[in-house]
């Protein structure tokens, strides 16, 4: 069998672990040939690829990033993109394509699958927003990095009697904010799913100081938004960047809370560090299992599906289902936490 693998979309710790696992399972155990397309779908559309043997994946299990490169190119955005992908797959004699990617990639995968491409998807997202799997690799690492930063920030906030507003990733969902906030004992957590009331945030923080505490940590997802018309400082007005639309919420909150509370408030924006570097053991195991099961699915001819974690099992789920709805944080998780405002 000839298997093509590619990584597409934003960076995510564990991509290399999937690639390695696909190669190990396919080449060693099945005697397959594996090729890796460069820079996501772009490599498939431009027939830009290389052979992946055992040596090619030596030492990459714990390495962040992706040895294949990535891009945000999607076949459907290009004229004849789908047709070209199909024809290249045929020309190259590829029997199965394993795209590893997030929501956009899986949507493209579905489109190509509907068009006849033999596809086995592998979901990746640090945001944990793909609905049909309990979790994907990358999320645990992102939460770990954010939690470690929060652990560090707590001591400095305490010694210097500050409010720290820590912005973590999550444009549409608050999973990283929720888990890192819970893990680090944040005093307020703000998520995109629930527009926050700045007055409530100020009250919550204020109560801590009234009770004699000397600091507060607010974790805010980059996509969290205030209820309309409640903030004095408008988001977006201070940043010359067009492309980083959400980078402002922590700064906005810091200004607003300083004003309301008369306490030093400082924004900390964790940024890209959350999606780079060595994956946690959890993510390496999950990524390895996904890669293994993707190869097995390909050998069974089980196409049009993607790998998913359900409990402790890896199962196959239709791509159509996978991209249907975003997995948002359910309301009962807010209750458990007690500090999602």
Instruction: Name which of residues 72 to 131 contact a copy of itself (CB under 8 A).
Output: none
Is residue 209 a contact residue for a copy of itself (CB under 8 A)? no
Using rule CB under 8 A, residue 316 touches a copy of itself:
no
> Which one of 109-117, 176-184, 199-207, 220-228 is the stretch in contact with a copy of itself (CB under 8 A)?
176-184
Per-residue interface string for the shown chain with a copy of itself, residues 218-247, x marking contact by CB under 8 A? ---------------x---xxxxx------
H or E stretch covering 41: helix 41-45
By CB under 8 A, the residues from 3 to 42 that bind a copy of itself are 7, 10-11, 15, 20, 24-25, 28-29
- The CB-of-115 to a copy of itself minimum distance in angstroms stands at 27
Whole-angstrom Cα distance, residue 49 to residue 247? Answer: 35
For residue 21, give the 3-state DSSP assignment: helix
- The DSSP call for residue 176 is H
Q: Which of 87, 159, 199, 227 binds a copy of itself (CB under 8 A)?
A: 159
Q: Which of residues 134-153 bind a copy of itself (CB under 8 A)?
A: 134-135, 140, 143-147, 149, 151-153
The reply to whether 281 sits near a copy of itself by the rule CB under 8 A is yes
Q: CB of 16: closest distance to a copy of itself in angstroms?
A: 9
Structural tokens at position 280: 């946690």
- Please state, in angstroms and rounded to a whole number, the distance separating the CA atoms of residues 228 and 196: 9
The alpha carbon of 115 is separated from its chain's Cα centroid by a whole number of angstroms, namely: 27
Helix, strand, or coil (residue 64)? coil
First to last CA, the chain: 52
* Residues 250-269 within binding reach of a copy of itself (CB under 8 A): 251, 255, 266-269
- Judged by beta carbon, residue 119 or residue 145, the one nearer a copy of itself is 145
Cα–Cα distance between 266 and 120 in angstroms, integer? 45
The residue among 195 and 236 lying less far from a copy of itself, judged by its C-beta, is 236
Q: Which two tokens stand for residue 97?
A: 């394509």
In sign, the C-alpha dihedral spanning 184, 187, 193, 195 is: negative
Given 289, 294, 323, 334, the residue binding a copy of itself (CB under 8 A): 289
- CB-nearer residue toward a copy of itself: 28 or 83: 28
Q: How far apart are CA 194 and CA 173, in angstroms?
A: 10
The interaxial angle of helices 198-210 and 249-261, nearest 10 deg, is: 50
Q: Is 248 annotated as a binding residue?
A: no
Catalytic residues: 127
């Amino acid at each position: 069998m000839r298997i093509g693998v590619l990584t597409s979309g934003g960076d995510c710790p564990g991509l290399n672990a999937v690639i390695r696992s696909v190669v190990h399972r396919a080449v060693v155990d099945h005697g397959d040939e594996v090729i890796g397309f460069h820079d996501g779908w772009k490599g498939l559309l431009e027939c830009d690829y290389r052979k992946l043997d055992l040596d090619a994946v030596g030492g990459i299990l714990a390495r962040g990033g992706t040895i294949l490169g990535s891009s945000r190119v999607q076949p459907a955005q290009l004229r004849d993109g789908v047709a070209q992908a199909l024809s290249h797959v045929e020309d190259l004699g590829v029997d199965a394509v394993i795209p590893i990617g997030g929501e956009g990639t899986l949507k493209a995968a579905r489109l190509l699958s509907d068009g006849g491409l033999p596809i086995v998807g592998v979901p990746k997202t640090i945001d944990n927003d793909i609905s049909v799997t309990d979790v994907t690799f990358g999320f645990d690492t992102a939460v770990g990095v954010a939690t470690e930063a929060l652990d560090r920030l707590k001591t400095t906030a305490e010694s210097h009697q500050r409010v720290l507003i820590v912005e973590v990733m999550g444009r549409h969902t608050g999973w990283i904010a929720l888990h890192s906030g819970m893990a680090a004992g944040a005093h307020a957590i703000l998520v995109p799913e629930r527009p926050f009331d700045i007055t409530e945030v100020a009250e919550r923080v204020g109560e801590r100081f009234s009770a004699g505490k000397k600091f507060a940590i607010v974790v805010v997802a980059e996509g969290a938004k205030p209820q309309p018309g409640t903030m004095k400082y408008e988001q977006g007005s201070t940043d010359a960047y067009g492309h980083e639309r959400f980078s402002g919420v922590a700064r906005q909150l810091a200004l607003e809370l300083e004003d309301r509370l008369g306490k030093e408030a400082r924004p900390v924006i964790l940024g890209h560090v959350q999606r780079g570097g060595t994956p946690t053991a959890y993510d390496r195991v999950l990524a390895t299992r996904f890669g293994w099961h993707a190869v097995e699915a390909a050998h069974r001819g089980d196409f049009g599906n993607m790998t998913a974690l359900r409990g402790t099992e890896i199962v196959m789920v239709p791509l159509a289902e996978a991209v249907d709805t975003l997995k948002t944080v359910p309301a009962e998780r807010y209750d458990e936490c007690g500090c999602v405002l």
